């Protein structure tokens, strides 16, 4: 196999593009896809400082790397979920990355906000672990960005992530989730920062190749709570479709964005208002995060309090 | 396992309904689902004679059986596709069924209409075999029903068929196909008969069980051209989802019908007009069937004509 650009030995084959690239030209291809995502969805400008939500995994660190190399002003945000060794190690990866690149990194502990670490939250809520965790992360990203005055949060969601989420929403025809499935969610309220996913055009395999070729030191383990998660099952199914028909994932996601999403966009604006408890934006009186935090508070009293009551 | 109705030994377990039935109560359940489909979508009335498109397989013969037993006036329509032994045997099954039940059966040869049997059509068109065959069948069902004055054609499509078709349309976001995915397609033009699918609430497994319990003699073999068909691959994937989460197929199809389909319904009526060649309804000047027949005529001259020209 030869590089499509220079004819040299190829390092990465991209079946869905029916192409292969040598290492430098793959890196070039990757960065151009990110640039195209930013341009097409007007994700941010060069005047803005971008808060990059990093988990220590390949996707978010690859994203941060691309943005730094492209000259954007960035700040990392690491949310410490308190998931034992996994969180310790992933935080170290983020801190080492930030230090090497001379970039600021904010660290926030989920336990400080919700009242308990994710493993403890899991015990008191009937939500699936990934659901309570995702809710907490989205809430905190927005809160921290607002507090520090960042206009936009970028996350490392890739094509596989987005296709799997869409697949889940479509299987249940979640009419609330479908119009919100987008590479860029505009701020529709002063208390809501823009959320963007500059890697949505790149597959998981491609971000892994980029991280490898760029020698990014990332945490390889999956979150221990992700085992058996529905989204992983959906990724498996989509990989089978992709195997049989390269480009299937791409067509599924991009076809939705181009053709079907407009049909789902709700005509009426959602009635957004301030949460009566925390002041962040919600559609009900109390936001979902505060409800979760309240549940944690009521069912898992801190040590040394009256937890032993019969 | 016990029958949900009578507590007797169960013959059929329905995981997605979390229920099991003895043989008579399963047959009862099956017929009630068909009755509910007919009622809910106003498929036809007892004053109408229903043309039942039968292939000789379990689904269409089960449907015909239910309609006869429920006292509807019916006529069978068998379309002979000319697929070698498969067509010979499936025709015999239909003729034997019709004779035993004392019901009229119309037989039409696809080759008479399109100019060649399906195996020959396959050679001259670049469409997948199932696509040209499906097109021909839909065309002929409508044509024969019009000619004989039947107001409605019923087909044996089951829940698995419908879910697989929807899955394929969703993977490519086929904005034309999505609004047409329905258990009942009204006649929107005098030259277009109503098309209904009274088995859409029943899974493939359930129609197989019904056919077995009712001792219906049907052709068990799949069409030889179906091997490797995309729709079978999609059925496989949906079966994996169903395995992991009983009811997944049902929720996918019914969620679409209840919630998402309205979003896809086109506001503007399609500009239907008469095909300049055959007079049947089309959106272009020449209908897709006549284009296919023309392709067959041009590329596969009848024996004895100038087919040997260099």
String of DSSP letters for B148-206: HT-SEEE----HHHHHHHHHHHHHTT-TTTGGG-SSEE---STT--EEE-TTTTS-HHH
A171/B263 CB distance under 8 A: no
pLDDT mean over B231-236: 89
Residue in B172, B233, B241 nearest the CB of A244: B233
**pLDDT tens per residue, range B151-208:** 999 999 999 999 999 999 999 999 989 999 999 999 988 889 999 999 999 999 999 9
Half-sphere exposure of B122 (CA within 13 A, CB side): 14
| Distance between B150 CA and the closest CA of chain A, angstroms | 36
CA-to-CA distance for A198 and A157, rounded, in angstroms?
8
Q: How many other β-carbons are positioned within 10 Å of the β-carbon of residue B46?
A: 9
Among B171, B252, B264, beta carbon nearest to A171: B252
Burial class (CB in 10 A: 0-12, 13-18, 19+), B68: middle
The pLDDT of residue B267 is above 50: no
* Residue A273 or residue A310, greater confidence: A273
**Which DSSP helix (H) or strand (E) runs through A283?**
none
Q: Which residue of B has its CA nearest to A242?
A: B171
Question: How many whole angstroms separate alpha carbon B8 and alpha carbon A95?
Answer: 66
Q: Note whether A173 contacts B252, CB cutoff 8 Å.
A: yes
Coil/strand/helix, residue A58: helix
A121 vs B141: CA distance, rounded Å: 59
Which pLDDT belongs to residue A273?
86
CB-closest option in A240, A252, A264 to B237: A240
Q: For residue B260, give the chain A residue with the closest CA.
A: A173
Candidate from A139-143, A209-213, A287-291 with smallest mean pLDDT: A287-291
Quick one: pLDDT band at residue A76, thresholds 50, 70, 90? very high
* Token pair belonging to A241: 């479709």
Residue in chain B nearest A266 by alpha carbon: B263
Nearest CA in chain A to B242: A171
Mean pLDDT along residues A140-164: 97
d(CA A25, CA B19): 58
Of B173, B233, B237, Cβ closest to residue A260: B173
List A residues 141-180 in contact with B (Cβ-Cβ < 8 A): 170-173, 175, 178
Give me the residue from A171, A241, A256 closest to B173, CB to CB.
Answer: A256
Structural tokens at position A281: 């934006």
Closest CA in chain B for residue A167: B171
pLDDT value at residue A308:
37
Closest approach of B233 to chain A, Cα-based (Å): 9
Q: To which H or E segment does residue B287 belong? A: none
Other beta carbons within 10 angstroms of residue B61's beta carbon come to 27
Report the distance separating Cα A8 and Cα B261, nearest Å: 50
Average pLDDT estimate for B16-39: 97
The lowest-confidence range among A259-263, A269-273, B97-101, B301-305 is B301-305
Q: What is the pLDDT of residues A219-242, one digit of tens each?
A: 999 899 988 788 888 999 999 999
How large is the average pLDDT for residues B123-136?
Answer: 86
The residue of B169, B171, B265 whose CB has the most chain A CBs within 10 angstroms, and thus the best one to mutate to test that interface, is B171
- pTM of the full structure: 0.88
- Closest partner residue to B255 (CB to CB) among A173, A233, A258 is A173
**CA A152 vs CA A45, A50, A136, A282: distances in Å:** 10, 6, 18, 18
Is the minimum CB–CB distance between B233 and chain A shorter than 8 Å?
yes
Beta sheet of B49-54, edge-to-edge order: B105-109, B73-80, B49-54, B152-154, B194-196, B184-185
Query: Are A263 and B263 within 8 A, CB to CB?
Result: yes
Of all residues in chain A, the one with the smallest CA distance to B253 is A171
* pLDDT, average across residues B253-266: 90
How many interface pairs between A and B have CB atoms less than 8 angstroms apart?
51
Band (pLDDT 50/70/90 cuts) for residue A270 is low
**In this complex, is the C-beta atom of A262 within 8 Å of any C-beta atom belonging to chain B?**
no
Question: Does A135 score more than 60 pLDDT?
Answer: yes
Where is average pLDDT lowest: B63-72, B198-207, B232-241? B232-241
- Cross-chain residue pair B171–A251, CB shorter than 8 Å: yes
Mean pLDDT of all residues in A109-125 = 90
CA distances from A244 to A163, B114, B118 (A): 16, 32, 26
CA atoms within 13 A on the CB side of B111: 13
Is pLDDT of A104 > 50?
yes
**Is the pLDDT score of A22 beyond 80?**
yes
Q: At CA B96, angle to CA B93 and CA B100, rounded to 5?
A: 140
Nearest CA in chain B to A233: B241
**Is pLDDT of A37 > 70?**
yes
Q: Which of A170, A179, A252 to probe the B interface (max B CBs under 10 A)?
A: A170
C-alpha atoms less than 13 angstroms from C-alpha of B104 in its C-beta half-sphere? 9
d(CA A200, CA A151): 20
What per-residue confidence (pLDDT) applies to B309?
Answer: 38
Task: Tell me which of A123 and A167 has the higher pLDDT.
Answer: A167
Does residue B284 carry a pLDDT above 80? Answer: yes
Please state which of the ranges A160-169, A185-194, B34-43 shows the lowest mean pLDDT: A185-194
> Given CB atoms, is A134 within the 8 Å cutoff of chain B?
no
| Cβ-based burial of B282 (10 A; exposed 0-12, middle 13-18, buried ≥19) | buried
Q: Could you tell me what percent of chain B has a pLDDT over 70?
A: 95
3-state SS class at B262: helix
Phi and psi at residue B76, to the nearest 5°? -85, 150
Provide the ipTM. Answer: 0.84
Q: What is the mean pLDDT of residues B50-60?
A: 98
Q: Is the pLDDT of residue B88 over 90?
A: yes
At B304 the pLDDT is: 38
**Chain A positions in Cβ-Cβ contact with residue B258 (cut-off 8 Å):** 173
* Crossing angle of helices A129-148 and A288-299, rounded to 10°: 120
In Å, how far is B171's CA from the nearest CA of chain A? 5
Of residues A178, A255, A263, nearest to B172 (C-beta): A255
User: pLDDT class for A188, splitting at 50, 70, 90?
Assistant: confident
Average pLDDT, chain B: 92
């Amino acid at each position: 196999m030869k590089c499509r650009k220079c004819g040299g030995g190829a390092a990465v084959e991209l079946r869905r593009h029916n192409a292969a690239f040598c290492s430098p030209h793959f890196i070039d291809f990757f960065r151009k896809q990110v640039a195209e995502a930013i341009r097409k969805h007007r994700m941010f400008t060069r005047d803005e400082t971008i808060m990059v939500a990093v988990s220590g995994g390949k996707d978010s660190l690859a994203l941060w790397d691309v943005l730094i190399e492209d000259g954007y002003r960035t700040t990392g945000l690491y949310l410490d979920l308190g998931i034992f060794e996994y969180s310790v190690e992933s935080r170290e990866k983020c801190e080492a990355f930030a230090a090497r690149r001379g970039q600021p990194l904010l660290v926030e502990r989920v336990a400080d906000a919700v009242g308990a670490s994710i493993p403890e939250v899991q015990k008191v809520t009937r939500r699936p672990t990934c659901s309570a965790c995702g809710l907490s992360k989205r809430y905190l990203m927005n809160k921290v960005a607002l507090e520090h005055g960042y206009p936009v949060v970028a996350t490392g969601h890739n094509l596989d992530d987005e296709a799997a989420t869409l697949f889940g929403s479509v299987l249940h025809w979640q009419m609330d989730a479908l119009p919100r499935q987008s590479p860029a969610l505009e701020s529709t309220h002063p208390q809501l920062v823009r959320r963007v996913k500059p890697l949505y055009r790149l597959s998981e395999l491609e971000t892994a190749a980029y991280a490898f070729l760029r020698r990014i030191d990332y945490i390889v383990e999956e979150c221990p709570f992700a085992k058996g998660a529905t989204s992983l099952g959906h990724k498996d199914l989509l990989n089978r479709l992709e195997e049989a028909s390269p480009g299937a994932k791409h067509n599924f996601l991009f076809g939705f964005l181009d053709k079907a999403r407009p049909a789902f966009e709700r005509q009426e604006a959602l009635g957004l208002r301030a949460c009566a408890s925390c002041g962040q934006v919600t559609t009900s009186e109390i936001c979902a995060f505060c409800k979760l935090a309240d549940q944690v508070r009521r069912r898992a009293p801190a040590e040394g309090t009256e937890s032993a009551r019969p």
